Amino acid sequence: MTSEETQALEIRVKEVLEQIRPYLQSDGGDLKFVKLTDDKVVFVELQGHCGSCPHAMITLKQGVEQAVIEAIPEIKSVERV
C-alpha cells in the first residue's frame, strides 16, 4: 500500500472505531486506535473497564473486530496491545 492508501484506510478505521466507542463508554470502557500495519491489521488499546474486563477479548473479537471488518472488508483483524 502507498502511504496515501494507508492514511485513507486509517481514517476509515478511526471513523468506525468512533462509532463503536459510545457503546464501550456506556459500560465504563473505551478504546484507542494505536496503529494499522501494512498487512491490514488494526491494533487498539482497550481502556477503562475494557482493559481489565474478563470479557474483553469477546468484546474485541465479536464486537469491535466484527464491526470494523463489516465496514472495511480489507481489514484482516483487530488486535489488542
Please tell me the total count of domains within the chain: 1
Encode pLDDT of 42-64 as tens digits: 999 999 988 888 888 999 999 99
Residues of the chain with pLDDT under 70: none
Instruction: Report the C-alpha gap between 80 and 34 in whole angstroms.
Output: 9
Q: What are residue 48's DSSP bridge partners?
A: 29
CB atoms within 10 A of CB 69: 16
Over the chain, what is the mean pLDDT?
94
Phi and psi at residue 54, in whole multiples of 5°? Answer: -65, -15
Q: What is the CATH number of the domain that holds 62?
A: 3.30.300.130
> Which range marks the domain in which residue 67 is found?
3-80
CA distances, 22 to each of 30, 48, 75 (Å): 8, 13, 22
CA distances, 49 to each of 1, 26, 56, 66, 74 (Å): 35, 10, 9, 20, 29
